[in-house]
Amino acid sequence: MFETSLTWNDVLFLLQGAGTTLTITFWAVLGGTILGMLFGLARATAPWWLNAPIGFVLDILRSVPLLIQFVLANSFKSILKLNVTAFTVGCVVLALYTAAYCAEIVRGGILAVPPTTRRAARSLGMTYTQDLTNIVFPIALRVALPSWIGLTLGVMKDTALVLWIGIVELLRSSQILVTRLQEPLFILSIAGLIYFLMSFPIARLGARLEKRWREND
Amino acid sequence: MHGSGHGSKSGGVKMIELKDVRKSFGSLEVLKGVSLTVQKGEVLSVIGGSGSGKSTMLMCINGLEPIQGGQILVDGIDVHARGTDLNKLRQKIGIVFQQWNAFPHLTVLENVMLAPRKVLGKSKREAEEIAVKQLTHVGLGEKLKVYPSKLSGGQQQRMAIARALAMSPDYMLFDEVTSALDPQLVGEVLDTLKMLSEEGMTMILVTHEIRFARDVSDRVAFFHKGLIHEIGAPEQVIGNPQKPETIDFLKSVL
Ligand SMILES: Nc1ncnc2c1ncn2[C@@H]1O[C@H](COP(=O)(O)OP(=O)(O)O)[C@@H](O)[C@H]1O
Ligand SMILES: [Mg+2]
């Protein structure tokens, strides 16, 4: 028989870590998506003097490894004696990182809307804003959704890096258990399963929406 | 001076007037001084080689493109004047393009309802009533709940026509609306245009269908290199053209 010294308390400990992973993912994706939509809209429509600096900052966020961003931000927090938790730092850094990628996805989606379709909307008397909200955004959403789902799943895995600034999320809690119980295969399998169970509904939701939309066009 | 008939706001005049209109894209001058008047109720066909500026002229008329010289008046309103509310003006000028430009995320019914709801502020019920009426009118009464991707090109083009008509425009501009269609689908769209002309719709019809133009138009204009070379009754411009350019063009397409 298979024997393990893993107790229910340990499983609870893992699930707590998973809760932290989900919470960070939630805030990072929420904040990152809202910011990403603003930046992406600016990237697709703003004049160059606004577009260029935003593009530059987003380039930096995308090209510096996330781990370095976490550690740097956490050090700045200490240097500046900011009264925020490591958890907040983790969420903010990851949200900005997500925003940088989300902006490009949003920009791509908006630019994928044919100018002739937008012209048709304007020719019916719709204002610039009405065209954006009724035509451009819905079409762009369909184009961007698969990449956005991919981004969200990626961010969930990237949350593991916050263990470097002292946050006990799912990966860190499994490490702690591995060290204590010396059953790496079993414990990491459970952690992997939990990651999968958290990702699966998101991936499914994406596939469902995509299928529904594909039937229409 | 009272009673002068030449004020820029000539009150009750219902027509489209182009006065020496010039339009360039960068250094390329596309319209080189086009003057034209289309009276309410008139059907004007515009023929001419590709690249001669026909599409550009239509886009200038409803302010989708700016102009560099001259003036365009619609019911006495200067389209390109600073204070002109283009969104309001466009409500009375419908335009249908060569590419039908369906809104792919909306059903046929929703495509047609959208502008009446958002632009005219109609209620959902009113908008639906209008849309159903216009779609039935162009023969799409059975396709209300369908997405545009499920329609043929001809059906999508008729939907685009219904979508423009749903705004109850005073003028309709058609830009080669049959050019992108398979030959067997051209007829159904031309029939729709013919029906509109018989109902008294004021239309400017850019077309390559010379026979059709001769059939439905009150006047025909021949466009060549950014200028109207010849304009007049169809029997005259198509039946008995005077300028060598017109004669050459008609030979090439008939
Ligand atoms: N948006 C644009 N930018 C630059 N050039 C354009 C644009 N639209 C049209 N043109 C040019 O203007 C000329 C007239 O085009 P168009 O009005 O489409 O002609 P037509 O409809 O008679 O075929 C062509 O040489 C075309 O290349
Ligand atoms: Mg053209």
Q: Considering CB atoms only, which of B95, B149, B163 is closest to A217? A: B149
* CA dihedral over A104, A107, A109, A111, signed as positive or negative: negative
Q: Is residue B112 part of a domain?
A: yes
- Tokens encoding A30: 């929420």
Residue B1 pLDDT > 80:
no
- Which of A113, A116, A122, A123 has the highest number of chain B CBs within 10 A, making it the mutation to test binding with B? A123
Q: In the prediction, which pLDDT does A217 show?
A: 64
Which residues lie closer than 8 Å to B250 by C-beta, 6 or more apart? Answer: B210, B238, B241
What separation in Å is there between the alpha carbon of B177 and the centre of ligand 2?
10
Q: What is the CATH number of the domain that holds B184?
A: 3.40.50.300
Residue in chain A closest to B117 (alpha carbons) equals: A126
Are the CB atoms for B60 and B73 separated by under 8 Å?
A: no
Helix-strand-coil split of chain A, %, nearest 5: 85, 0, 15
Condensed to tens digits (0 to 9), the pLDDT of residues A142-183 reads 999 999 999 999 999 999 999 989 898 999 999 999 999 998
CA dihedral B201, B205, B210, B216 (to 10 degrees): 10
Q: Is residue A55 part of a domain?
A: yes
Structure confidence at residue B229 as a pLDDT band (50, 70, 90): very high
C-alpha B157/C-alpha B181 separation (Å) is 9
Q: In the prediction, which pLDDT does B5 show?
A: 40
What separation in Å is there between the alpha carbon of A13 and the centre of ligand 1?
67
Number of domains in chain B: 1
B207 lines ligand 1 (CB under 6 A): no
Number of domains in chain A: 1
Q: What is the CATH number of the domain that holds A161?
A: 1.10.3720.10
What is the ipTM score, two decimals? 0.88
Look up tokens 């304009």; give the residue.
B231
CA dihedral B25, B28, B31, B33 (to 10 degrees): 120
CA dihedral B167, B231, B29, B21 (to 10 degrees): -60
Q: In the prediction, which pLDDT does B3 show?
A: 39
User: What H or E segment, with its residue span, contains residue B182?
Assistant: none
Q: Is residue B55 part of a domain?
A: yes
Condensed to tens digits (0 to 9), the pLDDT of residues B158-194 reads 999 999 999 999 999 999 999 988 888 899 999 999 9
Q: What letter does residue A64 receive in the DSSP assignment?
A: S
Q: In the prediction, which pLDDT does B30 show?
A: 96
What is the C-alpha R_g of chain A?
Answer: 21
Phi, psi of B17 (to 5 degrees): -125, 125
H and E: helices and strands count for chain A? 9, 0
β-strand partners of B232: B220
Q: Is residue B120 part of a domain?
A: yes
Q: Is residue B3 part of a domain?
A: no
B53 lines ligand 1 (CB under 6 A): yes
**Domain housing A101:** 8-216
C-alpha B62/C-alpha B56 separation (Å) is 10
Q: Is residue B2 part of a domain?
A: no
Nearest residue (by CA) to ligand 1, atom 3, is B25
B27 lines ligand 1 (CB under 6 A): no
Condensed to tens digits (0 to 9), the pLDDT of residues A32-44 reads 999 999 999 999 9
Q: Is residue A3 part of a domain?
A: no
Q: Is residue A51 part of a domain?
A: yes
Phi, psi of B42 (to 5 degrees): -90, 150
Q: Is residue B9 part of a domain?
A: no
**Domain housing B234:** 15-253
Residue A70 pLDDT > 80:
yes
Residue B35 near chain A (CB below 8 Å) = no
- Tokens encoding A185: 């295969």
Q: Is residue B229 part of a domain?
A: yes
C-alpha B35/C-alpha B228 separation (Å) is 8
| End-to-end CA, chain A | 54
Q: Is residue B241 part of a domain?
A: yes
CB neighbourhood size of A16 (10 A): 14
Q: Is residue A2 part of a domain?
A: no
B94 lines ligand 1 (CB under 6 A): no
Q: In the prediction, which pLDDT does A82 show?
A: 86
What separation in Å is there between the alpha carbon of A87 and the centre of ligand 2?
59
Which residues lie closer than 8 Å to B127 by C-beta, 6 or more apart? Answer: B113, B116, B117, B166
Phi, psi of B23 (to 5 degrees): -145, 130
Mean pLDDT for chain B? 92
Residue A16 pLDDT > 90:
yes
